[in-house]
Amino acid sequence: MVENIVFGIGITALAGALAAVAGAAEDTESDIGSQGDPNSQVQLAPQMGFIHRIFNKAVAGEPPAYGLWCALGAGLAWIFLIKDINPILALILGATIATFVQGVYATSGYLGRTASLAKFGQPVYIDILKSMLSVTMAHAFVAIFTTVAMCYLMNAVLGHPFPLPILGLIWGIALGAAGSATGNPFYGKERQYQNQKFGAGVPISASGNIVRYAEAGQRNSLDNGWFSAKLGGPASGICFGLIVFLELWRTILFEHIAAGWGAIIVGLAVILVFVVIDRWVEVYARKNYGPYTVAEEASS
Amino acid sequence: MTAQITVTEGGIPHNTLMIYGLISSLVGIYLTYLNTVTGTQLFSFFGGLGAVAALIWGSSTIKRLCSYGIGTGVPSAGMLAFGSGVIAMLLATKFGIASPIVALVLGLVIGAILGYIANNILAMKIPVMIQSIAELAAVGALVMIGFTAMTTGSFTFSPLSVIPVTVLGATVNSFGTSLIGGGLLAAIFMLGSIALQHGFNACLGPSEKQDRTLMLTAEVGFLSMLMVAIFSFAFIGVGAMIVSVLISAIGWYYTYAQYITLSKRDAAAWLDSKPIVEAEGH
Amino acid sequence: MSALGAAKPAAGGAIDPVSSVVGLVLAVIFIGIVFVLAPAALFPLLGIILGGVLIGFGVHFVPVGGAPAAMGQAPGIATGVAMLAAGAGLAGLFGGAWAAELGVVVATVTGAIGGGLMMAVTCLMVNVIYVFGMGIPAASGKVTKDPLTGDTQAEYKSQGTEGHGLPFISFVGGVVGGLFGGGGGTLIYLMLLQVYEQYLPVIFNAKVEEIMPVAVSLAGIFAIGLFLVNAVLAAYNITGTIEGPHDPKFKRFPRAIVASLVASALCGLVAILIVVVNLNI
């Protein structure tokens, strides 16, 4: 029994670590490809007269897109497992083929959106595809493989009743939701609008005026990935890693206490802890940054 | 402030596309029945072709619906279509040889009711809402049943849930390794729903052209079909699987090459390693 | 956002009486069909409807700002509302399905907590990124004072924006939305599982343990499908973005409840019919 629990905790920690890697890779991938809500600005810029060399990958939002990549990777891995292929090999094969699909979707998204912007004079820069595609695919592979491996652990080792493809779908959507929620503002505001004031939202009047030139030369999406990999990516990793780890941890350790109510009480306690931390963060910002409009010296 | 969804006019009328898509989809799915007639599994790929036809129809429907601005993203329409489509499709598999037609009708009925809910109870007041959601749910059901037929060579409930396995000379029923029991439906669900919305979502913009959008839908449709062909590895013979893979790969390559040609035609310029071309006045 | 902007939904939360009554009549008919064909599945269907209503109601709590939130132009989480709710609800479903053998109440609450936990972590990280990554405090654009903490909002709103980040009320809304979504999704799953465990062994002439993979997968797929239908309908109701329970759009929730009720009754009916209809062809 104790051994079982120790084993379960080990798997929980491993799954949490895999999830953290997945979250970081997912956000970096979506920023290099420019996916999800921040991409609305990449889409808008040519209309406002700002021709740019940023990837414009329009493949749904991150949650449905990652729902597909992870469900597909898990489905393929499941097929290979049924056919008695070694699990590690099956997971890698599944993730590789799913990454191929991601790459095809990425190219067609860029070509489609850019060609439809012809009216505003935005050309298709084919070298963007050549140089950025491999990088997004590499990050996507990391994200898909870690997520599918995590789902495999949940199903095969921890004994979750859902089969692998359904777990892939569930955690793929959750991965996309966590990664886009955490990472999008950092890419959308902080990187695309680096020319705007720090510590303030982007005024609506500035919409579309994204930064198009780099320290030297012209900015492309690899520069954006380089930037967001420093904070947005790891933060997304922490977010998704915590979600997976805490969910498994409370179940493995406390589910057998008081016929299941143990895990519920622990979960509730964890939620309350997060509420307190959030309130502290909010008050910290209000105290230290101060209001924008009051003329007093509140902000110093 | 975000970019607006605009829709260009022209091209094949939606209703024509709908009729073509509907008929070719049903014919394609029914041709998998040749498997039963001839006693082989070689004709499974027709299910995938039927699904691609349904996707092209659905892509045109999404374009028509989203031109009204539904308040949230284009992908949500694909999710609604398949969320209701999978429910319709699974019930339809209980009707034996009539399954594809039942899937179509059930999809239309469920979709029409959901469309009525969205349009009237939620007061969205979009003229094409009821018809569009009905079409989308039907497309979802047809795509699911088509891809399912391609994976297993069959579109009825029992073969999808049970696989007879011979263990030590005796035949036992294996539920966990079947298409439904293994949850593979989840992967097919996502392959269909993302492919359905991708055509219009990826091509939207002021210079959108119908032929390019639909070519892209066909391309991702064939890509999904290729994945489904790999899925069939676990269910049908190797020979039949190779036929499926070859046909999907050829279809995918052709439509992808065509799509790139069309993108080249429509793009403002096709540049390789060139600097930003500043628009006039900036 | 539409190019043909004529089709904006009514701004208020007014319920259209005629269509609502039509919808409710339809729902009663669906329930009646189940009552006639499979009386044993009546309570599960009511559970499915309750689950669907919980999802539809819960989505209204989730603070989602959509594209403007990604630039700090509007408060909320920068992603799509339907999919964020799905992420939380399905994470809850994961936990709830795991606890299925512990009984309906425990499993549903476990699922709810799973959804709430997912949203608590996500909302916290959103604020952490805003505050420590970008130096932007949270501010609501829809209310002058946070109804929970009493913090004033207007002066923390940077120039030219509608607010940014997640004020405390939005954070709480997110957690509550996750709780409802996770609980509702799990309830749908458990009810369907119950029906399938009862009928599938008869259909396949097999033991309950043998058909469990099919029962679990079917219930799981239907729960996901029903979740997406309810979440997208609720997203249509709030036209894509909402700040949380303090947002004026929140008042539209009654009609979303009617919508979820009818949609869940319909989908639940079909999901139950799959094991009741047995034509042997």
Tens digit of each residue's pLDDT (9 = 90 or more) over C33-60? 988 888 888 899 999 999 999 999 999 9
Is residue B71, in this structure, part of any structural domain at all?
yes
Non-local CB neighbours of C222 within 8 Å, separated by 6+ positions: B86, B87, B90, C188, C189, C192, C267, C271
Is residue A293, in this structure, part of any structural domain at all?
no
C105 touching B (Cβ < 8 Å): no
- Upper half-sphere CA count for residue B44 (Cβ side, 13 Å): 34
CB C131 within 8 A of CB A185: no
| pLDDT-wise least confident of B71-75, B171-175, C18-22, C66-70 | B71-75
CA–CA dist C267, A97 (Å, integer): 34
Interface of C with A in 221-240 (CB under 8 A): 221, 224
Q: What is the model's pLDDT at position C41?
A: 87
**pTM, full prediction:** 0.93
In the predicted structure, residue C244 carries a pLDDT above the cut 60: yes
Shortest Cα distance, chain C CAs vs residue B138, angstroms: 14
Range of the domain at A136: 2-245
Q: Which of B184, B213, B262 sits opposite A165 (nearest CB)?
A: B184
CB A147 within 8 A of CB A172: yes
- pLDDT tens across B140-195, in order? 999 999 999 999 888 888 888 888 777 777 777 788 888 888 889 999 999 999 99
pLDDT classification of C6: cutoffs 50, 70, 90 = very low
Are A176 and A273 part of one and the same domain? no
Percent of chain C whose pLDDT exceeds 70: 94
Shortest Cα distance, chain A CAs vs residue C80, angstroms: 7
CA–CA dist C54, C57 (Å, integer): 5
- With 0-12 CB in 10 A as exposed, 13-18 as middle and 19+ as buried, what is C197? middle
Are A234 and A272 part of one and the same domain? no
Non-local CB neighbours of C1 within 8 Å, separated by 6+ positions: B2, B4, B5, B69, B71
Please tell me whether residue B167 adopts helix, strand or coil conformation: strand
pLDDT classification of C191: cutoffs 50, 70, 90 = very high
In the block, tokens 């912007």 appear at: A117
CA–CA dist C64, C67 (Å, integer): 9
Joined tokens for residue A293? 């409009």
In the predicted structure, residue C221 carries a pLDDT above the cut 50: yes
pLDDT classification of C11: cutoffs 50, 70, 90 = very low
- Cβ B183–C278 below 8 Å, yes or no? no
- Count of domains in chain B? 1
- With 0-12 CB in 10 A as exposed, 13-18 as middle and 19+ as buried, what is C147? middle
Shortest Cα distance, chain A CAs vs residue C14, angstroms: 30
Residues linked to residue B164 through DSSP beta bridges, in sequence order: B173
Q: What is the model's pLDDT at position A296?
A: 45
Q: What is the model's pLDDT at position C268?
A: 92
Chain B residue nearest residue C208, CA to CA: B175
In the block, tokens 């998998």 appear at: B32
Are A85 and A142 part of one and the same domain? yes
Length of chain C: 281
Joined tokens for residue A104? 């095809």
- pLDDT tens across C263-277, in order? 999 999 999 988 887
Q: What mean pLDDT comes out for the span A204-210?
A: 88
Please tell me whether residue A208 adopts helix, strand or coil conformation: coil
Q: Report residue A115 CA to chain centroid gap.
A: 27
Are A267 and A239 part of one and the same domain? no
Rounded to the nearest integer, the mean pLDDT of chain C is 87
Non-local CB neighbours of C63 within 8 Å, separated by 6+ positions: C75, C76, C77, C123, C166, C170, C171, C173, C174, C242, C243, C244
In the predicted structure, residue A41 carries a pLDDT above the cut 50: yes
Chain C residue nearest residue B159, CA to CA: C204
In this prediction, the answer to ipTM > 0.85 reads yes
In the predicted structure, residue A187 carries a pLDDT above the cut 80: yes
Is residue B139, in this structure, part of any structural domain at all?
yes
Q: What mean pLDDT comes out for the span C2-12?
A: 40
Q: Which of B187, B213, B267 sits opposite A123 (nearest CB)?
A: B267
In the block, tokens 């929140």 appear at: C250
- Cβ A165–B185 below 8 Å, yes or no? yes
CB C34 within 8 A of CB C152: no
- Count of domains in chain A? 2
Please tell me whether residue B5 adopts helix, strand or coil conformation: strand
Is residue B78, in this structure, part of any structural domain at all?
yes
Please tell me whether residue A256 adopts helix, strand or coil conformation: coil
In the block, tokens 């941890």 appear at: A249
In the predicted structure, residue A90 carries a pLDDT above the cut 50: yes
CA–CA dist A56, A298 (Å, integer): 41
Instruction: Specify the DSSP class assigned to residue B3.
Output: P
Q: Report residue A171 CA to chain centroid gap.
A: 12
Chain A residue nearest residue C153, CA to CA: A291
- With 0-12 CB in 10 A as exposed, 13-18 as middle and 19+ as buried, what is B171? exposed
- pLDDT tens across B237-264, in order? 888 999 999 999 999 999 999 999 999 9
pLDDT classification of C159: cutoffs 50, 70, 90 = confident
Are A224 and A205 part of one and the same domain? yes
Residues in chain B, pLDDT under 70: 1-10, 70-73, 279-282
Q: What is the model's pLDDT at position C206?
A: 83
CA–CA dist A18, A143 (Å, integer): 9
Is residue A295, in this structure, part of any structural domain at all?
no
- With 0-12 CB in 10 A as exposed, 13-18 as middle and 19+ as buried, what is C181? buried
- Cβ B204–A113 below 8 Å, yes or no? yes
Query: Can you give chain C as a three-state secondary structure string?
Result: CECCHHHCCCCCCCCCHHHHHHHHHHHHHHHHHHHHHCHHHHHHHHHHHHHHHHHHHHHCCCCECHHHHHCCCCCCECCCHHHHHHHHHHHHHHHHHHCHHHCHHHHHHHHHHHHHHHHHHHHHHHHHHHHHHCCCCCECCCCCECCCCCCECHHHCCCCCCCECCCHHHHHHHHHHHHHHHHHHHHHHHHHHHHHHHHHHHHHCCCHHHHHHHHHHHHHHHHHHHHHHHHHHHHHHCCCCECCCCCHHHHHHHHHHHHHHHHHHHHHHHHHHHHHCCCCC
Residue spans of the domains in chain C: they are 47-275
Please tell me whether residue B171 adopts helix, strand or coil conformation: strand
Q: Which of B72, B105, B179 to mutate to test the interface with C (most CBs of C within 10 A)?
A: B72
Q: Which of C1, C62, C83, C146 to mutate to test the interface with A (most CBs of A within 10 A)?
A: C83
Q: What mean pLDDT comes out for the span C121-148?
A: 91
Is residue A6, in this structure, part of any structural domain at all?
yes
In the block, tokens 């994976």 appear at: B151
A257 touching C (Cβ < 8 Å): no
Q: What is the model's pLDDT at position A4?
A: 80
Q: What is the model's pLDDT at position B4?
A: 56
